[in-house]
Structure 1
């Protein structure tokens, strides 16, 4: 199955979201033919043209109007139906955002640096400048706070910016809870409706995980797209 965990909202436009799981390899290291087939599968499943960003673990947000764009950033926003925005991950948090009444959607890649830099709040600000008001969020599969071990100094550095991200592994060492940090940022920005996929990518072999598999890990994607009613 190409797309998993699909959801749908209806407003002036139909907005759909989904995640690709481990059946498709959308990673930068994937063979060009493999990646091309994966994007073609996403296009066939969504009826939209995929837009992929060059993710760099930052907080830059780009508004895209066509599928030819492949910007270097960690968040994509569009008001154009027919574009499928992808946020790829293998432990980081893919966040999908939508306002079906305003017709604005976004896909966000929030890893540890992006969480600290505030990529999710930056995306919401950009969406609101485009007319979004009642934003709904989907927080995709990601490494959980009981599995994401980091040095204590790094935990303290991130927690100083996002206190909710402070965590401890199940074996008692310093950790970060990226999902909790993202949820806190969404709440602080006034996003009241948040759907969370409660899957830890490190623990569940059905999802790619860099922490579990290292360089052999593939990448899945969160996907959001719009179409006319």
Structure 2
């Protein structure tokens, strides 16, 4: 089986400022009709029907939902989706948090994870791996992609917060460009995935704060959301 992964940018959509233009988030204040048009365009662009995209009501936690078919509504209060259903695309929305796309091509099991500071700290990625294992995946066959997010040089936090997150997510503590305490969530998640035995880990190095083609809440405040999508080709 073949696993497909797509990460969107700001370009090519219907949304007006400050969401211009390919905002996929329906919870940020953007016009409903613009978000609907953008989601339709996303589905068309990846060659799937709109109802074959599964969305989440993301809450910065570690709850994982396993889906087996089209969902009438976003999965409630969850930050990771898992499926073994071919042609069902899982979507994580971000604008500085880390999107983590996981897949075991042999088993045909995939996961999309929204890993912000809180979710990464409380273990949303290990929870997703456990759900994948329960769905038939083998962790030593799983391949991971860490998508664009705020980089450690741009993510300044109080010292106490750095200490707390670093204690739960080893490897995440860093120094910012200014020499102040920072967090590199992708570095911590990379280490977490490696320690779990994940076979292959890829990294999209783009920083959402630095790259103006991407949405960034830290840079812009009220803004849109990128979509990171994973599915098994039917």
Q: TM-score by structure 1 length?
A: 0.91
| Contact 1:21–1:208 (Cα < 8 Å) also in 2 | yes
Q: Partner of 1:164: helix, strand, or coil?
A: coil
Per-residue CA deviation, residues 169-201 of structure 1 (Å, 9 max, x unaligned), is: 100111111110110111111113011111111
Q: Partner of 1:182: helix, strand, or coil?
A: helix
Indicate the RMSD between aligned Cα atoms, in angstroms. 1.0
TM superposition outliers: structure 1 runs of 4+ over 6 Å: none
* Structure 1 residue 93 corresponds to structure 2 residue 98: yes
| C-alpha distance in structure 2 between counterparts of 1:190 and 1:119, whole Å | 16
| Contact 1:51–1:67 (Cα < 8 Å) also in 2 | yes
**Which consecutive residues of structure 2, in runs of 5 or more, have no partner in the other structure?**
12-21
Per-residue CA deviation, residues 14-44 of structure 1 (Å, 9 max, x unaligned), is: 2100101112201222221111112111211
Paired position in structure 1 for 2:39? 39
| C-alpha distance in structure 2 between counterparts of 1:119 and 1:189, whole Å | 13
From 130, 154, 158, give the equivalent of 1:151. 158
| More strand, by proportion | 1
From 216, 219, 226, give the equivalent of 1:209. 216
| C-alpha distance in structure 1 between counterparts of 2:170 and 2:192, whole Å | 10
Paired position in structure 2 for 1:70? 74
Q: Partner of 1:131: helix, strand, or coil?
A: coil
Q: Partner of 2:102: helix, strand, or coil?
A: strand
| Contact 1:77–1:123 (Cα < 8 Å) also in 2 | yes
| C-alpha distance in structure 1 between counterparts of 2:54 and 2:74, whole Å | 7
From 175, 181, 187, give the equivalent of 1:174. 181
Paired position in structure 1 for 2:5? 17
Q: TM-score by structure 2 length?
A: 0.89
| Stretch deviating more after TM superposition (45-54 or 91-100) | 45-54
| C-alpha distance in structure 2 between counterparts of 1:214 and 1:79, whole Å | 36
Per-residue CA deviation, residues 83-119 of structure 1 (Å, 9 max, x unaligned), is: 1110110000000000110010010000000110110
| C-alpha distance in structure 1 between counterparts of 2:47 and 2:85, whole Å | 13
